[in-house]
């Protein structure tokens, strides 16, 4: 057996079948699964103010959670294996699916999960335990109470960034340059797509 420089055997990096980890891409949702998923997303009131639906494609079948008829052209479809999806829903860690980069995502009427989906689900609900509109307001009020200057600057930065994205198409000549300047001002390395 070969060992690494630390004296431990090298890690096994062979590709593994998803089934070894409880994921079978052909396994459909059960009735109880659908109830849990619907309750999970409908519990997030702020999500309905942004999206009309969240669709889950599991085992080749679609299940749609309708959130707001008035926003029916805005939604997202996630295709994921039942095991990982239900673990994320049951433990309220949906961000783990987004970070994992194996779930297929289709956006409807929007060009990004942010600010439509990710902050509402991952930050406010799953991490912040803020589900109702009142709880989300309290969530932000707590940040404002703790760090008023930083909170206000962050909100201003987000509003300016959202405004820029709305007004300037990504294929504009100076979009990449503006993105590089923004990252430089923040002291961050430029993103690969800038």
Instruction: Fold for 24-113, please state it.
Output: Nonspecific Lipid-transfer Protein; Chain A (3.30.1050)
Q: How far is CA 78 from the centre of its chain?
A: 10
Enter the DSSP assignment of 126.
I
76-81-87-88 Cα dihedral, nearest 10 degrees:
-20
* Bond preceding residue 115 cis, omega within 30 of 0: yes
pTM of this prediction? 0.77
Residue 3 pLDDT: 57
Residue 194 pLDDT: 57
- Between CA 6 and CA 177 the distance in angstroms is 43
- Between CA 9 and CA 6 the distance in angstroms is 9
Domain edges within the chain: 24-113, 133-185
Q: What is the pLDDT of residues 6-63, one digit of tens each?
A: 677 888 888 888 888 889 999 999 999 999 999 999 999 999 999 999 999 999 999 9
- Where the chain has pLDDT below 70, the residues are 1-6, 193-194
């Amino acid at each position: 057996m070969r060992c690494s420089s630390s004296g431990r055997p090298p890690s096994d990096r062979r590709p593994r079948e998803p089934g070894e980890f409880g994921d079978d891409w052909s396994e459909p949702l059960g009735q109880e699964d659908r109830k849990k998923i619907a309750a999970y997303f409908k519990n997030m009131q702020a999500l309905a103010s942004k999206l009309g639906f969240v669709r889950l494609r599991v085992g080749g079948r679609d299940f749609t959670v309708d959130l707001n008829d008035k926003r029916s052209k805005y939604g997202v479809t996630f295709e994921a294996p039942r095991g990982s999806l239900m673990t994320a829903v049951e433990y309220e860690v949906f961000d783990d699916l987004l970070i994992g980069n194996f779930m297929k995502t289709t956006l409807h009427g929007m060009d990004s999960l942010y600010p439509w989906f990710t902050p509402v689900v991952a930050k406010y609900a799953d991490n912040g335990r803020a589900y109702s509109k009142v709880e989300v307001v309290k969530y932000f009020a707590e940040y404002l109470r703790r760090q008023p200057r930083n909170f206000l600057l962050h909100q201003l930065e987000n509003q300016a960034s959202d405004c820029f994205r709305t007004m300037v198409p990504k294929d504009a000549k100076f979009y990449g340059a503006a993105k590089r300047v923004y990252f430089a001002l923040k002291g961050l390395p430029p993103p690969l797509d800038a």
